[in-house]
Amino acid sequence: MNALTSLLDGFGTALTPLNLLWAALGVLLGTAIGVLPGIGPAMAVALLLPVTYGLDPTGAFIMFAGIYYGAMFGGSTTSILLNTPGESAAVVAAMEGNPMAKAGRGAQALAAAAIGHFAGGMVGTILLVALAPAVAELAVDIGAPDYFALMVLAFIAVTSVLGSSRVRGLASLLIGLTIGLVGLDQMTGQQRLTFGSLQLADGIDVVIVAVGLFAIGEALWVAAHLRRRPAEPIPVGRPWLGRGDVRRTWKSWLRGPFIGFPFGAIPAGGAEIPTFLSYVVEKRLSKQKDEWGKGAIEGVAGPESAASASAAGTLVSMLTLGLPTTAVAAVMLAAFQQYGIQPGPLLFEREPDLVWGLIASLFVGMVLLLALNLPLAPLWARLLRIPRPYLYAGILFFAAVGAYAVGGEVVDLVILLVIGLIGFGMRRYGLPVLPAVIGVILGPGAEQQLRRALQISDGSVTGLVDTPFAVTVYAVIALLLAWPLVKRAVRRGRTAA
Amino acid sequence: MTTETDQAPGRAAGRRAWLRDHSELGVCALLLALGVLVLADALTMDVDIAQRGPVGPRTVPVAVGAGLLVIAALLAVDVLRGGRGRAEGGEDVDLSEPADWRTVLLLSGIFLGAAVLIEPAGFPVAGALLFWGAAFALGSRRVDRDPLIAAVLSLITYAVFDKLLGVPLPGGPLMGVL
C-alpha cells in the first residue's frame, strides 16, 4: 500500500496547475513533432530536450512523459495515413490501419489506435506502479559487480536481440563506447582521446551524441534519398467508433498490454516483437478472418495497445535499474544525467517526489492524450502535408539550437555535425543507431563499476561473479548469446525429421 | 590484339563495380583506423602516477580498441562472404535512386557556416540563414516565402528560448540595435 500513498502524493505533484500545463504542452508538442513524417519518438524527445532546460527536474520530466506518449501516438497516425512507417514498431499499425484509411475508415483506425494507446498505457502504468518499487527494493543492495553485469546485459541485449546483424550491432556499440571514452578518466583524471584539446577534455555530451545520431544523421540520410513526390496522406475526419467496432476491439485493447508490458520490462525491449506478436494473436482469435490484410480493426487496436504498454514496461528497467532498452529510454536517461540524477534502485528513495510525480503524470498524460488528440486528429493529419524542405531544414535548425543550448559552445555544433555524418554512414551501411547511443550513455558507468568491483576483489576476476545476482545475469547473457545457435539447431532438427 | 585492348577497360570497370559493390569494406577500414587510434592513445598514456587499484585508465580503452580491430575483421569477412548491411528505409526515403551527395555536402557546409556565424552575427541571423540555406539545398525555391519563414522562425525561437525558457542564445549586433 506504500506505493499507493506515494502515488497519491505523486498526483499531488502532477496536478498542480503549472505541472498540468507542462504535461499538456508536452502531449501537444510530442504529438505535433511525432506526426511529422520521418520523426520517430526518439528524435522527437531528443529535439525537445532543450525546451526543458529552463525547467526544474520534476516539471521537465512531467513534460517528457507527455512528449513520450504524444510522440508514440503521432507515429501511429503517420503510419496509418501515409503507409510508410518510419520505425519498426509502427510497421504493424500500417498493416491494417492503412487499408482501413484507404477504405474510408481512417477515423475509426485512428480512434482504435488512440484508445489502444490509452488502454495499453493505463494497464502498463498500473503494472509499473505495482512492480517498480518491488524491483527497486530488490535491487537496492546490489553492488558494483551486479551493476556491471546488468550493463553488459544491456549491451548484449541491444546488439544481439534487436537488429538483423550482430556484427553490425557490435560495431555500433563499440563506436558508442569509443565516443564515451573521450574526456578525462573519472577515477584518475587521465586524459583519454582528447588529443590535448581542452574542449574534448570535458567529454562529449550525451545530448549532442543523441541529437547528432538521431536528428542530424536522419536529416542528412533523408536528404540524400528524398522522394521526389512525397507520399500523399489520406484525409481524415474526427475519429470515432461505432458500437460494432467497440464490441470487436475491446478485448484486443485489454489483451495488448499483457503482451507488450513484459517485453518492455525485460532488457530485450523495444515494441517491435510485442506489436507483431499481438498482431498474430489477434488474427488467430478474430472471427472475421477474411478482413485481415484489408483493414481489420483488431489489427490496429491490439498492437497499438501492446506498443503503449511496452513503453511503460521500459520505464521499469529504466527507473529502477538505470538500464535503457529503447532509443526513447536512452534519450530520457541522458536527460536524467543532464540534471545530475542517476536512475537506479536508489532513485525511489532519493527522489520520491520526482519519480512519483513522473509516474502520476503518465496517467495524466494519457487522459490528456485522449482528450486532446481525438478532436485534434484532422489538424495533425494536415501536418503530414508540410513541404519536405521545410521539415528537414527545421530538423537541422532545432538540432543546432539544442546542441548550442547544452553549453553555449560553437565547437559543440561542429561535433554535432561530425556525429551526424557518422549517423549518416551508419544508416547507409545498416549499422543500428541504438547500440551506439546506449554505449555512450552506459559505457562510462560500466567502466567505473568494473574498476570498482575489481578494486574490491584486488584485481581478481572472480570479484565480478561473486554474487548470485551477477551469476544469474551472466546466465541470462549466455542464454541470449546461445539463442540463435539453439534456434538453428532446432530448425535443422525439424527439417531433418 | 584487339581483344586485349577490349579487355583492359572491361577489367577496370569490373574492378570498379566490385569496389562499389563492396563499399562496405570502407566501414571496416574506418573501424580499423578507429581501433588503432584508440589503442595508440591508450598505450601512449602515462599512467604510472595516476594508477589506483588493479585496473587503471588504460584497461577499458585497450579492450575497446582491440574489440574494434576484431569487429573490423569480422565485418570484412561478412562483407566478402556476401553479407550486406541494409540501408535504412523511412517515410520520405526513396532507396531506388542513387544517393544525392551534393545535397548532403551542401547541407553540411551550410551547417558549418551557421556554426561559424552564430557568435559574431548572433543566433537570429545565423539560424535564419541555416533554415533558408537548408531549405534551398533541399529543393525549395520560393524566394518570396522561404527567407520570411526562416526569419520569423529564427526570431520566435530566439525569443522563446532566450526570454521565456531561460536558455541563453547569443543575440548578436542585430538584437543589440532592437
Digit-coded pLDDT (tens) for A278-303: 888 888 887 777 777 777 888 888 88
Q: Do A188 and B118 touch (CB under 8 A)?
A: no
Q: Do A187 and B75 touch (CB under 8 A)?
A: no
- Which of B34, B52, B88 has the CB atom closest to A221's CB atom? B88
- Closest-CA residue in chain B for A224? B100
Q: Domain-by-domain residue ranges, chain A?
A: 2-496
- What's the confidence (pLDDT) of residue A67? 85
Look at residue B92 and tell me if it is in a domain.
Answer: no
Give the total residue count for chain B.
Answer: 178
- Which of B95, B107, B115 has the CB atom closest to A414's CB atom? B115
Where residue B68 falls among pLDDT bands split at 50, 70, 90?
very high
Residue type, A86: G
Of the residues A429, A434, A452, the best mutation for testing chain B's interface (the one with the most B CB atoms within 10 Å of its CB) is A429
The mean predicted confidence, pLDDT, of chain A is 82
How far, in Å, CA of B58 to CA of B38, rounded?
10
- Cα B23–Cα B29–Cα B31 angle in degrees, nearest 5: 115
Where residue A418 falls among pLDDT bands split at 50, 70, 90?
very high
- What's the confidence (pLDDT) of residue A421? 94
Q: Is the dihedral of CA A148, A150, A152, A154 positive or negative?
A: negative
The residue range of the domain holding B31 is 9-47+55-80
Of the residues B47, B59, B92, the best mutation for testing chain A's interface (the one with the most A CB atoms within 10 Å of its CB) is B92
Please give the tally of structural domains in chain B: 2
Q: Is the pLDDT of residue A479 over 80?
A: yes
* Count of A-B CB contacts under 8 Å: 235
- What's the confidence (pLDDT) of residue A493? 67
The SS3 of residue A183 is strand
Contacts of A451 in chain B (CB under 8 A): 53, 55, 59
Q: What is the pTM of this model?
A: 0.84
Q: Do B52 and A78 touch (CB under 8 A)?
A: no
Contacts of A414 in chain B (CB under 8 A): 112, 115
Q: Is the pLDDT of residue A161 over 80?
A: no
Shortest alpha-carbon distance between residue B10 and chain A (Å)? 28
Contacts of A177 in chain B (CB under 8 A): 64, 67
Contacts of B167 in chain A (CB under 8 A): 50, 53-54, 405
Higher pLDDT, A475 or A489: A475
Q: Do B42 and A192 touch (CB under 8 A)?
A: yes
For B51, how many CA atoms within 13 A lie in the half-sphere containing its CB?
A: 11
- What's the confidence (pLDDT) of residue B69? 93
The SS3 of residue A185 is coil
- What's the confidence (pLDDT) of residue A256? 80
- What's the confidence (pLDDT) of residue B91? 66
- What's the confidence (pLDDT) of residue B108? 93
- What's the confidence (pLDDT) of residue A202? 81
pLDDT 10s digits, A217-226: 888 988 888 7
How far, in Å, CA of A361 to CA of A351, rounded?
15
Q: Is the pLDDT of residue B140 over 70?
A: yes
| B27-39 average pLDDT score | 92
Q: Find the range with the poorest average confidence among A97-111, A412-426, B62-76.
A: A97-111
Nearest Cα to Cα of residue A158 among A141, A177, A140, A145: A177
Shortest alpha-carbon distance between residue B5 and chain A (Å)? 36
Contacts of A430 in chain B (CB under 8 A): 84-88
- Which of B92, B131, B149 has the CB atom closest to A226's CB atom? B92
Q: Is the pLDDT of residue A271 over 80?
A: no
Q: Do A193 and B90 touch (CB under 8 A)?
A: no
Q: Is the pLDDT of residue A58 over 70?
A: yes
Q: Do B154 and A397 touch (CB under 8 A)?
A: yes
- The predicted complex's ipTM stands at 0.87
- Which of B86, B131, B161 has the CB atom closest to A430's CB atom? B86
* Strand partners for A192: A183
- What's the confidence (pLDDT) of residue B1? 41
| A2-17 average pLDDT score | 83
| A37-62 average pLDDT score | 80
- Which of B78, B95, B115 has the CB atom closest to A413's CB atom? B115
| A316-327 average pLDDT score | 82
Contacts of B100 in chain A (CB under 8 A): 223-226
Q: Do B64 and A38 touch (CB under 8 A)?
A: no
Nearest Cα to Cα of residue A324 among A311, A309, A305, A306: A311
Look at residue B137 and tell me if it is in a domain.
Answer: yes
- What's the confidence (pLDDT) of residue A25? 87
**B76 lies in the same domain as B133:** no
- What's the confidence (pLDDT) of residue A269? 53
Q: Find the range with the poorest average confidence among A56-70, A213-227, A261-275, B120-134.
A: A261-275
Any idea what DSSP says for residue A408?
Answer: S
- What's the confidence (pLDDT) of residue B166? 74
Contacts of B41 in chain A (CB under 8 A): 192-193
pLDDT 10s digits, A72-127: 888 888 878 876 655 666 677 778 888 888 888 888 888 888 888 899 989 999 99
- What's the confidence (pLDDT) of residue A458? 80
- What's the confidence (pLDDT) of residue A86? 54
Q: Is the pLDDT of residue A178 over 90?
A: yes
Higher pLDDT, B116 or B94: B116
How far, in Å, CA of A123 to CA of B28, rounded?
45
| A263-290 average pLDDT score | 77
Higher pLDDT, B3 or A146: A146
